[in-house]
Amino acid sequence: MVNLSNINVPLGKHPVDTGKYLIATNEIDKLCYIVGNWIDNRFPGAIIHGRPRLGKTRAIKYLIKVLPKELNQNIPMFHIKCKTYKNPSENNFFEDLLDGVGHAAPELGRPSEKRVRLKHFFINMAEKSKQNKIVIFIDDAQKLTAIQYDWLMDVYNELDEYGIVLTTILVGHDELIDRRKRFIKNKDFQIVGRFMSDSYQFNGVKDVEDFKILLEQYDTGTEFPVNSNLSYTQFYFRDHFENGFRLVNYAGEFHDVFLELQLDKGLQKNKEIPMQYVTLSIEYILKNYGFFGENVQLLNKNLFKKAIINSGYIQSELVLLDVE
């Protein structure tokens, strides 16, 4: 039993308060396996696509954290956020790439110099890691234009001359699949073969099993403070946790309330639940129903409903319904 009186976490500094934490889900585990195969098989590029707010960005961060260990290879991996420009330029493109990989001076030099610095940066990282692989995840990749794919292809070709495989994972909305179809229709097979050779549809939380796996992480798969042996659920529910309280025991009820709200609001079309709203609902439960809130001993459907509504799930889904 952990003595919680010795645990001092300043107000607002717990990961549940800051939102700065990564948790494995059923879907992320599946994605980890798929992307691991892409990297192992030296795929030059592939697509991860799905609806907004499903948790794709968090999934990227999780993959970058765990994949090198899973593959037993110290492969340099980078998360690059794609930006929107009215008129994309080579200068902005390579500056954004340099910034995304953490280069010390992304803004210096002409476009050609930035391109060379990026190449040398990747070569240096590959040599340091003693691997001949580099992986970049391009987030919001539906924003990429045809000319930007050409510039990416140049980077791939330049690294290939040094025996380094660049794997580019495009992450974004389902629009990426439509984009691939247009490239095929226009016979842009080189772009498709280089960056879109495979695809994976990323899903939200779909069933009770997904809820169980997620909630169990809060119960037993998390820890804060470091080396405290305190899970997130234990930190927030304290004595009740010692008496057997576990979020995972409510997986069925939690899932049922989401389905009931979908039915009530006419949202049955999208059965999968975006991870963002499930996470926000769980955080609401921990903060408002635990030791620092109402300190309830048992959860019920009314409490789950309040947490889900507070997450913004209903409002967001209704907006998407109007758009469709």
Give the number of C-alpha atoms closer than 13 A to the C-alpha of residue 306, restricted to the C-beta side: 11
Do 281 and 148 have their domain in common?
Answer: no
- If asked whether residues 93 and 192 sit together in one domain, one would say yes
Q: Pick from 149, 172, 201: which residue ends a domain?
A: 201
- Look-up: residue for tokens 């389905």? 259
Range of the domain at 115: 26-201
Question: Given a cut of 70, is residue 321 above it in pLDDT?
Answer: no
Count the Cβ atoms, other than its own, within 10 Å of residue 297: 11
What average pLDDT does the segment 39-49 reach? 97
Average pLDDT over the chain reads: 94
User: Whole-prediction pTM value?
Assistant: 0.92
Mean pLDDT calculated for residue range 18-24:
94
319-323 contacts, C-beta under 8 A, 24 or more apart? 320/270, 321/266, 321/267, 321/269
Residues 111 and 179 in one domain: yes
- Give the confidence band of 3 by pLDDT, cuts at 50, 70, 90: low
Q: What span, in angstroms and rounded, lies between the C-alpha atoms of 264 and 261?
A: 5
* Nearest by Cα to 258 from 244, 245, 270: 270
Q: Give a yes or no: residue 9 inside a domain.
A: no
pLDDT of 180-228, one tens digit each?
A: 999 999 999 999 999 999 999 999 999 999 999 999 999 999 999 999 9
322: pLDDT confidence band, cut at 50, 70 and 90?
low
pLDDT at 320 over 90: no
Task: Count other Cβ atoms within 10 Å, centred on residue 319.
Answer: 11
Question: In this structure, are 228 and 85 located in the same domain?
Answer: no
Domain boundary (201, 229, 258) is at 201
The CATH number assigned to the domain holding 69 equals 3.40.50.300
- Within its chain, how far is the Cα of 208 from the centroid? 21
280 in a domain, yes or no? yes
Q: Is the peptide bond prior to 225 cis by the omega test (within 30 degrees of 0)?
A: yes
Q: Mean per-residue pLDDT for 131-155? A: 96
- Structural domain count, the chain: 2
